[in-house]
Structure 1
Amino acid sequence: MAEVALTQIDHWAASAGFVIAGYYLANENLRDLSHEKMGHRIAEKIADNFSSACLVVIDNRNLTLNMDNAALCVSQFADGKWKPRDKSSFSLARNSLDTAATLIQRRTYEELMDFDNHLDDISQDWRNLSLNLEVDEEAGTVG
């Protein structure tokens, strides 16, 4: 099923002028920073097509209503394996942490649909267009 999803997503991305540059995941267990085997394989498939691919794990321990630091653990594919990136090696837009904290406070994450949700009920939009608009509005990047 993951391969079907990746193929469909890749087709959609290419037709929209995008490239799949990475894979992110957020584990249900707050203390879990691991990436399951399937997620790892998907990320490696992405790296086969995009040499600078990233694997991002949301660090649930750092998700708070008043965020001071990015809750991200970023790895980049190099020399055939995933290598952790230092937090100083990437940056976020100026208001990203405030936007994330506000969206967490509103429980916006409950609206997030992934491809599995879409396959269970095709009325669920895996592209999350309305959610993306809400994020853009909160971040002040609309228009």
Structure 2
Amino acid sequence: MGGERRYDINQKAYIKLILHALKHRTSVVNGVLLGRYADGEVDIVDSVPLFHSQIGLLPPLEIALIMIEEYYSEKGLGIVGYFHANERYDDCELASVAKNIGDHITKYFPEAAILLLDNRKLESLSKVKDRSPVMQLYTKDASSSWKLVGSDGSNQLALKEPSANLVLLDYIASGKWKSIIDFDDHLDDISKDWLNSQIFD
């Protein structure tokens, strides 16, 4: 199923997810990817940070997914994948909770991907000036198992804007990660904007 399908991630979607992980460095965090699929390419247009404390709880997840689907379907976008960042810095394994949520999303969108934050790549970003995403791409293979894609050097996940990592470094340096809002925050205080429109003002 993974094949040679390409995944392009928009700068805004990419930055929101990483800032979310940076705000909650010692917690597992997750989010969903919004976009569309055409001609063998999944275009990830936006993302929504989900949780930093209730990762495996189904009721908050279901509430979040319903609200997200309602909002984005009016814009012609659907949920096309899932983002996950592990609690431990050196943990590069795809957790079972990530696979379970990914499985749920593939029921509705078979081409869905899971993006896993690569902390080591993120940490070295300021030194290396790399233009590739600081995430690992997982897709489902023919046996419906989640497999790491691109370990053979193929680039199936790409940033739409080549300067996205430079913008990300600016956002990190200016402390923008402190103001990111996820669904945990929104469910605690519904006046908090889970769309995070203020981040890019």
More helix by share: 1
Q: Within 5 Å, which residues of 2 pair with 1:34-113?
A: 34-64=93-123, 66=126, 67-68=129-130, 69-79=132-142, 80-86=144-150, 88-92=155-159, 93-113=161-181
Say which SS state the counterpart of residue 158 (structure 2) adopts: coil
Distance 1:35 1:124 in 2: 30
Say which SS state the counterpart of residue 34 (structure 1) adopts: coil
TM-superposed deviation, 1:27: 2.8
Q: Within 5 Å, which residues of 2 pair with 1:17-32?
A: 17-32=76-91
Two-structure CA RMSD over aligned residues (Å): 1.9
TM-score (norm 1): 0.80
Say which SS state the counterpart of residue 21 (structure 1) adopts: strand
Residue in structure 1 matched with residue 185 of structure 2 by the alignment: 117
More strand by share: 2
User: Unpaired segments of 5 or more residues in structure 1?
Assistant: 135-143
Shift in alpha-carbon separation, 1:125–1:39, aligned structure 2, 3 A: farther
User: Unpaired segments of 5 or more residues in structure 2?
Assistant: 1-59
TM-superposed deviation, 1:20: 0.8
| Larger RCO (alpha carbons 8 Å, 6+ apart) | 2
Q: Within 5 Å, which residues of 2 pair with 1:127-142?
A: 127-131=195-199, 133-134=200-201
Contact 1:52 1:78 in 2 (8 A): no
Matched letter for residue 137 of structure 2: V
Write the deviation string for residues 52-111 of structure 1: whole angstroms up to 9, x where unpaired.
111001112222361425311111133322121106222212101111111122222222
Say which SS state the counterpart of residue 39 (structure 1) adopts: helix
Matched letter for residue 83 of structure 1: K
Matched letter for residue 37 of structure 1: S
Distance 2:157 2:89 in 1: 23
TM-score (norm 2): 0.59
Shift in alpha-carbon separation, 1:118–1:49, aligned structure 2, 3 A: same
More displaced stretch, 84-93 vs 111-120: 84-93
Contact 1:2 1:42 in 2 (8 A): no
Paired residues in the alignment total 133
Identity %: 29
